[in-house]
Amino acid sequence: MRLIKWLKRIVLGPSSPFSLEDHRRTVECQKKEEFARLEAFLGEGISQFAISFDLARAGLDESDQNMRFAAMEALNLFWPNREEVVDRCVLFLSKEQEPHEGIRAGAMLYLAHCFSGSKNREMAGKLAQVVRAQNESALVKRLAYLGIMNILHGFRTKDDLNKLRYPEDVDWTLVNSL
Question: Model confidence over 28-79: pLDDT tens digits?
Answer: 777 777 777 777 766 666 777 878 899 999 999 999 998 898 899 889 888 8
Query: Is 112 within 8 Å of 146 (Cβ atoms)?
Result: yes
Contact 112, 151 (CB under 8 A): yes
Domain extent listing, the chain: 1-8+18-79, 91-178
* CA 128 – CA 178 distance, rounded (Å): 6
Angle, to 10 degrees, between the axis of helix 121-132 and the axis of helix 101-114? 150
Query: Is the predicted pLDDT of residue 11 greater than 60, yes or no?
Result: no
- Per-residue confidence (pLDDT) for residue 157, from 0 to 100: 55
Buried residues in 23-57 as b, exposed as e (16+ CB within 10 A): eeeeeeeebeeebeebbeeeeeebebbbeeeeebb
Q: How far apart are CA 73 and CA 67, in angstroms?
A: 10
What are the distances in angstroms from CA 140 to CA 11, 14, 101, 104, 114? 31, 39, 7, 8, 18
The predicted pLDDT at position 8 comes to 45
How many whole angstroms separate alpha carbon 117 and alpha carbon 155? 7
**Least trusted range by pLDDT, from 39-43, 81-85, 138-142:** 39-43
